[in-house]
């Protein structure tokens, strides 16, 4: 903890606990039971939410099914859908502060990051609105004088959307506006740890004029809510973001009805640092990549692969920058890194570090929980671990915390081999002044996204998703929109009596 930059608790009045209810068929519904969320930073109850069971989940799916089959959303024009989505985007921007404060209280992330996440999500809604108006199929006029073929794209139907706790508003906005733009109806289940921003978005959907039943929200736990959303026969697709282990369970559960499943799962994302890189810029990006969202990010660059000639001084610079990152009170505008989501997860992070030390790794910085005066115990020190070997759990498994592991290499081939030596394949990056090196790495790295001389830049136009055990399918961009569409071929005969009879006329 020596020489770290820590923001201790400031004096302010926390808002009253937010009360969240289910949104089913356009109405807010209380639950027979309730659950509470205690802020990981401030150790007070910050939300009280209705808890769904089988009855609420069945009702939500039924409402989505009725709305889809009635065509109140699925069969209106793209222009009409886009108009509602654009209203939602405007309303999000008008409510950034309210939503961001609640997200910070529930998740522990810094308020500046929550503001960026919520405000930035409006752009995803605007881009999805553009896709609603520009989507089209194909025509085939080359099948002969008497035939015309048309390929159309229909909404897939009822979609179950299950979102995680680490980016509750942003990840929902990577899914929901694209599903709605396609004409689908949905049932949404946010994480029980960060439910409130989803309910706040539900309020905005109603205000924007979304018809009843098009978007339904149920609050609760994976059992029974998430399980039923994955298995119900009236659900046509499940899109889930979360751990690889849960993603596998959803795939298994949904197999009984052969519904479509899209998954955005874990990552163990490398950044390769070549000797000819802009090392100062690379060190800053590595520091950002490991501490952003307290490392609780599927895109976290939790392992760096550094050329052995520069490894010692590069790691020293990352350690120096790490000491300058502001950890502490998430409601302080200058805080860059907040709290770990639960005490159990904090202990799990520390377990990875301690096991690595026992296996011969060396801690250059941190390596334990971080006490912050006036706040709860759910903080972890910025941690840099060297002398790591590829077989260690800390180098292979998703730690999901502010813990950076360092491996070294001699040749580009060795760096690429280390990059691909993983069960995951979400993202990867390389730092080099040689464009040929960057392009070769980009072609050979097994990852859904490759960054060169940057890290974690993204745009609504560019698809996001992983390979291997990082998931299947894509989110955002045109490819993410297409996930919510079914392709249908329409074959039309042109001209009267142009089809030759199959049954021969009797004499």
| Catalytic sites, residue numbers | 264, 298
Helix ranges restricted to H, 222-342: 227-231, 244-254, 279-291, 311-324
Looking from the CA of 54 toward its CB, the CA atoms found within 13 Å total 2
CB distance 56 to 216 below 8 Å: no
The owner of tokens 């029980």 is 192
Phi, psi of 309 (to 5 degrees): -70, -25
Report how far residue 240's alpha carbon sits from residue 257's, in angstroms, rounded to the nearest whole number. 17
What the block records as the tokens of 137 is 């199929």
Alpha-carbon distance values, 293 to 69, 122, 131, 177 (Å): 40, 20, 30, 24
Question: What b/e sequence results for 311-326 when a residue is b if at least 16 CB atoms lie within 10 Å of its CB, and e otherwise?
Answer: beebbebbbebbeebb
Q: Which two tokens stand for residue 9?
A: 């608790």
Tokens of 127: 């881009």
* Helix intervals (H) in 302-380: 311-324, 343-358
Residue 158 parent element (H or E) = strand 158-162
| CA–CA separation, 286 and 310 (whole Å) | 15
> What's the CA gap between 215 and 176, in Å, rounded?
9
**Distances, alpha carbon 57 to alpha carbons 250, 258, 411, in Å:** 16, 20, 54
Contact indicator for 408, 415 with CB cutoff of 8 Å = no
Three-state secondary structure readout of 14-32: CCCCEEECEEECCEEECCC
Cβ proximity of 356 and 393 under 8 Å? yes
Element (H, E) at 409: strand 403-409
Q: Count the Cβ atoms, other than its own, within 10 Å of residue 494.
A: 11
Q: Is 192 exposed, middle or buried (0-12, 13-18, 19+ CB in 10 A)?
A: middle
Name beta bridge partners: 488.
152
Using H for helix, E for strand and C for coil, what is the string for 423-438? CEECEEEEECCCHHHH
How far is the C-alpha of 214 from the C-alpha of 9, rounded, in Å? 42
Q: What is the DSSP letter of 153?
A: E
SS3 330: coil
């Amino acid at each position: 903890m020596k020489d770290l930059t820590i923001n201790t608790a400031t004096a302010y009045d926390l808002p009253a606990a937010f009360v969240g209810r289910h949104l089913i068929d356009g109405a807010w519904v209380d639950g027979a039971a309730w659950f509470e969320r205690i802020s990981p930073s401030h150790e007070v109850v910050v939300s009280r939410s209705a808890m769904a069971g089988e009855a609420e989940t069945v009702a939500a799916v039924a409402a989505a099914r009725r709305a889809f089959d009635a065509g109140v959303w699925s069969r209106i024009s793209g222009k009409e859908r886009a108009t509602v989505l654009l209203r939602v985007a405007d309303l999000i921007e008008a409510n950034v502060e309210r939503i961001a404060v609640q997200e910070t209280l529930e998740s522990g992330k810094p308020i500046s990051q929550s503001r960026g996440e919520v405000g930035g999500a409006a752009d995803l809604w605007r881009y999805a609105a553009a896709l609603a108006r520009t989507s089209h199929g194909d025509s085939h006029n080359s099948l002969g004088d008497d035939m015309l073929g048309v390929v159309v794209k229909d909404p897939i139907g009822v979609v179950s959307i299950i979102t995680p706790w680490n980016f509750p508003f942003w990840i929902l906005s990577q899914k929901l506006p694209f599903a709605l733009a396609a004409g689908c109806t949905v049932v949404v289940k946010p994480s029980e740890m960060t439910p409130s921003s989803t309910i706040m978005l539900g309020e905005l959907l109603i205000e924007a004029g979304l018809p009843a039943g098009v978007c339904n929200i149920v609050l609760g736990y994976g059992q029974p809510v998430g399980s039923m959303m994955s298995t119900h026969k009236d659900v046509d697709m499940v899109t889930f973001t979360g751990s690889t282990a849960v993603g596998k369970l959803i795939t298994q559960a949904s197999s009984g009805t052969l519904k479509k499943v899209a998954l955005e799962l874990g990552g163990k994302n490398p950044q390769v640092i070549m000797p000819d890189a802009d090392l100062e810029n690379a060190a800053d990006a590595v520091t950002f990549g490991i501490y952003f969202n307290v490392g609780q990010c599927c895109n976290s660059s939790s392992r760096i692969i550094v050329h052995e000639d520069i490894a010692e001084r590069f790691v020293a610079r990352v350690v120096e920058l790490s000491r300058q990152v502001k950890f502490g009170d998430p409601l302080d505008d200058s805080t860059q890194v907040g709290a770990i989501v639960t005490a159990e997860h904090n202990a799990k992070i520390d377990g990875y570090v301690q096991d690595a030390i026992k296996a011969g790794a060396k801690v250059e910085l941190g390596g334990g929980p971080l006490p912050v005066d006036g706040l709860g115990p759910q903080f972890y020190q910025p941690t840099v671990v060297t002398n790591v070997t590829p077989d260690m759990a800390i180098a292979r498994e998703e730690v999901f915390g502010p813990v950076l592991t360092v491996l070294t290499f001699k040749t580009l081939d060795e760096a690429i081999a280390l990059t691909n030596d993983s069960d995951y394949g979400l993202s990867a990056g390389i730092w080099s002044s040689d464009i040929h090196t960057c392009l070769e790495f980009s072609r050979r790295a097994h990852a859904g996204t490759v960054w060169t001389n940057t890290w974690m830049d993204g745009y609504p136009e560019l698809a996001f998703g992983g390979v291997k055990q990082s998931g299947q399918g894509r989110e955002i961009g045109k490819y993410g929109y297409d996930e919510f569409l079914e392709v249908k071929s329409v074959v039309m005969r042109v001209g009267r009596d142009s089809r030759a009879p199959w049954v021969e006329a009797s004499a």
